[in-house]
Amino acid sequence: MKKHVVIFEARGGSDKGQYGFRKDSKPIIDSLKKRGWTAEIIFYQDEDRGEIYRYTHDKADAYISRVNPGNLVSEVGYFQMLRELVANGIEGLPHPDAMLAYGAKNSIERLKGTEIVPEDVFTYYDFDSLKENFPKSLSNGVRVLKQNRGSTGEGIWRVEVIDENVGKSKIPLTAKLKLTEAKDNHTEEKTLQEFLEFCIQYLEGENGLLLDMPFLERIVEGEIRVLMLRNKVVNIVHKKPANTKDAFSATLFSGAKYRYDTPDKWPDLVQLIEKMVPKIQRKLGNYDLPLIWTADFILDTDKKTGKDIYILGEINASCVGFSTFLELSEDIADEVLALLDAESAVNNRWAAFTK
């Protein structure tokens, strides 16, 4: 073993500290150093991809990806490089395809029918399917449309029909809509036709798609973000939207209030997600679990029993931050070394893995 880890970041973005790198990357380096390992931050950019690949391949046992996709013009080159590193013996934390499987908005649809995602969830990959099917789902009540890209609520819209003359069947293209964007809770009015045409931008590009799911009114009570270290719940953030008209966004930028809880404060939710992890892993491609990932839940009410249930709204695995509890770096370092030790044991045991 080389006993070295590379942490990939991208320059720029709102997630950086005064020295240009993430505030919660340096603690990982320090925690690995305590354990006799070295680590460094490398800023990825496409023009240096070959050099970065060769350096990482020669110097490191593993990489930790801490790149916010929104900080790259395109993710294609970055993920190609990560796949090559994994294919040539570098431990991927996480594997690039796991990052895509967990982080894409359509991961929610892939989990529908489970106890944490309702059946009434759809994904659109082209304008024809959006135009044909979204008016039908909108006839069932207020919806939320989420683009695959963006962050801090950009391109996440609550969609409500305000045209009193519209019936409950398929909504006509002339119907008036009230639209609220999660980025800042601002509202707009458009016809359904205008809004569908506006959404074409979210369908463009290699990873363009829109997730369509029911709006859950109990979002006003807060979104519950569960921070996972592989299969363990390590922290919970309760994010309560601003107490203003139309507010449903749980981002700090929009005025939401955050409260940081230990897992023991949410025993039912912790029990639920720990039970669901194997099913989530299987349905999202059976990759190794990401090193650090989050699952965002919203409370709903079971129509049959009247009891509280938790509905999954989103998973994040690309660039999860923990700057409010930096002590987590100690657990992360332990997990990284345990994974590498386990991989080393497998490689030494099986002849197929020896050189």
**Residue 345: pLDDT band by 50, 70, 90 thresholds?**
low
**Residue 160: pLDDT band by 50, 70, 90 thresholds?**
very high
For range 109-123, the mean pLDDT: 94
Contact 256, 241 (CB under 8 A): yes
Domain spanning 103-117+218-316, CATH architecture? 2-Layer Sandwich (3.30)
Taking the chain, what is the end-to-end CA distance rounded to the nearest angstrom?
14
Task: State the pLDDT at residue 201.
Answer: 96
Give dist(CA 235, CA 247) in Å, integer: 25
Q: Amino acid letter at 74?
A: S
User: 125 or 76, which is more confident?
Assistant: 125
Dihedrals phi, psi of 52, to nearest 5 degrees: -65, -40
Give dist(CA 113, CA 185) in Å, integer: 30
Task: State the pLDDT at residue 331.
Answer: 95
| Residue pointed to by tokens 């970055």 | 78
Say whether pLDDT at 151 is over 90: no
**Residue 355: pLDDT band by 50, 70, 90 thresholds?**
very low
Q: Which of 168-172, 179-183, 195-199, 241-245 has the lowest mean pLDDT?
A: 168-172
Say whether pLDDT at 103 is over 60: yes
**Residue 352: pLDDT band by 50, 70, 90 thresholds?**
very low
Let me know the angle formed at the C-alpha of 152 by 150 and 157, rounded to the nearest 5 degrees.
75
Say whether pLDDT at 354 is over 50: no
Domain ranges of the chain: 4-94+324-353, 103-117+218-316, 122-215
Say whether pLDDT at 353 is over 50: no
pTM recorded for the entire structure: 0.89
Say how many CA atoms lie within 13 Å of 166 toward its Cβ: 22
The model's pLDDT over 276-323, given as tens digits with 9 standing for 90+, comes to: 999 999 999 999 999 999 999 999 999 889 999 999 999 999 888 888
Task: State the pLDDT at residue 344.
Answer: 63
Give dist(CA 55, CA 261) in Å, integer: 40
Task: State the pLDDT at residue 348.
Answer: 44
Say whether pLDDT at 14 is over 80: no
Task: State the pLDDT at residue 350.
Answer: 34
* Three-class DSSP category at 280: helix
State the average pLDDT for the chain.
90
Task: State the pLDDT at residue 200.
Answer: 97
Is CATH 3.40.50.2300 what the domain over 4-94+324-353 is classified as, yes or no? yes
Pick the CATH number of 122-215 from 2.20.110, 1.10.3470, 3.30.429, 3.90.70: 3.90.70
85 Cβ neighbours under 8 A, 6+ residues apart: 53, 56, 57, 63, 92
**Residue 175: pLDDT band by 50, 70, 90 thresholds?**
very high
